[in-house]
Amino acid sequence: MQSHGNIHTVEAILAREDTSAQIPVLDTGFDKDTLLMPPYYANSVPTADILITVQPNERRNDQANDDNWITVPSQKTKPREHRHTYRPYESHFLVYLKQVSAIPRDVAYWHDDKHLIIRDKFPKSIFHLLVLPRMRIDRVTDLHGPGGINCVRQLQERGQWLIHRLQEEQRSNGLPVPEFRMGFHIIPSMIQLHLHVISQDFVADALTKKNHWNSFTTDFFVEPETVIKVINEKGYFAMTPEELYRFKRLLDRPLLCHRCSIRLVNMTELKNHLKRHLAENEETN
C-alpha cells in the first residue's frame, strides 16, 4: 500500500528561505484560541456578500485562465499571502455554524457546542463526513500558533471518535470494517475549516474527476499531524501564492491507485479497479 500523509513531500513544497517577515503572524485581538482571522469575525458570522470581494468580471489579466485565481509571482516579486475569493454557494457552512437547525436532515450527523459533524453532500467514498469547528475559521492556512495547534488537535480527536463510532457500527452489524483517513484540503472548496473523515474505498458515484481523486490521494490532502508539525516549526501554516500553486499542480498528477500504485488511464478504469480492491477487502474481512 502506498504511504499517505508524506510530511517530507509537504515540507519540500513549503521549503524556501525564511519569509517570516513577509508573512507576519497577525495579532487580531481575538483571544479565544488566538486564531488568525480578521477582527470582524470575532463577534458574528458574516454573510456571503461580506465575503465576496471580487466579482468574476473583475479578475486581473493574470488570473483570467485560473479557476482558483492563484497567481505565481515572478522571481523579483515579493511573495505575498494568497487571498482566495469565494462564490456565494461556497458559504453554506457558515449558515450551519450560526443555526444548526438549518442543516438538512440528510446532511446532519452530530453536534455539540464546539464542533459540527456533517455528511459530505457529494461523498467521494461510502463513508465521507466533515468535522467543523463552530468558531469561524476560513481554511487550514489561516491557522497559527498554539491556538491553531489546539484547534487541529480538537478536530483530530473528534475525527478519531467518529472513526471509532463508524467502525463499531459496521462491526456490530457484521459488516466489513472500513479503513479511514483524516485530512484537510490545502485549497478548500468551501468556506469554514473542515476536516475530512473519509473511508478509503472511493467507490461513491460523486467521485468522477481526476482532481477529485488527487485531492484525496496526494499531499494536497494534508493530515492533522502534518499541519501541527509545520505550525510547531514555523509558527503558522500560511502559504505564498507560489506554494499554493505547487500544491494545486498535484491535482493534475496521473491517476495512481492509492493501494497498489498502478497507473490507470481514465476515471472509469480507476473506479473499476477500486471496486476490485473493495471486493478483495470485504473478502478478507
Q: Could you tell me which of 23, 7, 73, 70 has the C-alpha nearest to residue 236?
A: 23
Measure the CA angle with vertex 124, ends 119 and 130; round to 5°.
Answer: 30
Per the annotation, the verdict on 194 as an active-site residue is yes
- CA dist., res. 46 & res. 268, Å (int): 41
Distances 50 to 26, 37, 89, 95, 98 between C-alpha atoms, Å = 21, 14, 13, 14, 16
- CA dist., res. 186 & res. 192, Å (int): 13
- CA dist., res. 100 & res. 98, Å (int): 7
- All three cell numbers of 95: 449558515
Q: In what order do the strands lie in the sheet with 221-222?
A: 108-111, 115-119, 128-133, 195-199, 180-185, 221-222
Catalytic residue among 92, 185, 194, 196: 194
Active site residues: 194
